[in-house]
Every structure is written in structure tokens, then in C-alpha cells.
Amino acid sequence: MAFRSSDISWDPDTNRYYVLANVGKSNVKLSLSQDAITWLPGSKKNDSISKGDFYLDQIHLKNFGFMQRRPESFNSSYTLGLGYRGENEKPESFLRTLEVQSIVKTPNLGIYFRTFMKGLNSAAVPGAGGSLVFGGIDVAKFNVSLLKTYKSPGILNGKYGLQLRKIEFVHGNSTSTLDYGNKQQMAYLNCSDP
């Protein structure tokens, strides 16, 4: 299951990556977050979420994997929580919910980003974007010799593990992060094509 390559976008106003999804009858920006819980607007009634090829009619707002957020609370951002909970901890994470419902075989994900901005305070690059794959990675987008993925010993405690053989830092004042919330923040890096 995957979002298409143009589905991930960059929001320079919030310095966050997001996907625009349909929740019930509303279009909502869901920021990518390392929170274990997905925060959505609305009530706790049955609802569904969809985006392109991504459609889940079995996951409801009342499900443990989803929680209600009011726009005026926390950071006023709805999130697609991609973090992990402990083995016996509730509520279930979004990825674990996908596994329990047999939508994916393993609670893994693969994220691919392309350049979003040409420079500080510039407009978004036309055609830029990224992809998000639940249950694995899109091997067509990665040079396997440069990438090794593994299950981190702490993955059930909200941590990700990734070994990179080459990292390029981009000089500039504008930074971004995938992570937000739970006081578990990943390194703030500018993203660029290699």
C-alpha cells in the first residue's frame, strides 16, 4: 500500500512534510509525524480516510489508532502518526493497526523525498514530492548499495534505525524535520537530491 510519488508535499509555513487526504467529507493536511497516534479532525464517529490509491474503510476515528484533535490544541496540526508503541501498550499505532487488519504484512514504512524548495524563501519546485509506502520500501527509488535498513532494538519504543553510508548537508537557514511530538525529535536536516 502506498501514497503515489506526488502525494507528499512540503509546507514552508509549518516546516513540515504532509499528505493531503480526504477524511469523511473534508480534505485535511496530515503532517508526517513520529507520534504513534494519528490525529484527525471531527468526532469519534465512524469515518474513513482516503488519498489516491490509499483508502481505508476499516479504520475508524474511534479506533485506538486514531484520536480526535481540535485545531486550537497542541500545534494546530493534524498528523499521520508513524511511530511505534510498546509491545503491550495501548492505543495501537497506525502501522500496527494496518498489520492487525491484514492490510500490510509487517508494520514497516518506506519514505522517499525529492527536493521541495530551490532555496531559502523560494517557491516549491514543480513536480517535486515524495512517496510513502506502508509495509516495505519502493526499491525503484533507492540505490540498494547506499542503503541498509534494519529493525532497531528500540523500534517498539518509538525509535527508527537507519544506516546511511553517505549524507550530504545543505548549508542554509531553513531546516525541516519529519519528526514532531512526544519529545522524540530526529535531526533537523535540509533535504536535497544526491
Q: What is the pLDDT of residues 63-89, one digit of tens each?
A: 445 566 655 555 557 777 777 776 666
pLDDT digits (tens, 9 = 90+) for 126-143: 555 677 778 877 777 666
Structure confidence at residue 10 (pLDDT): 75
pLDDT over 60 at 23, yes or no = yes
**Band of residue 98 on the pLDDT scale cut at 50, 70, 90:** confident
Residue pair 103/92 in contact by the 8 Å Cβ criterion: no
Q: For the chain, which domains are there?
A: 2-164 (2.40.70.10)
- Of 166, 148, 181, 183, give the one whose Cα is nearest residue 16: 181
- pTM summary value: 0.56
DSSP string, 115-145: --BSSTTPPBPTT--EEEEETS--GGGS-GG
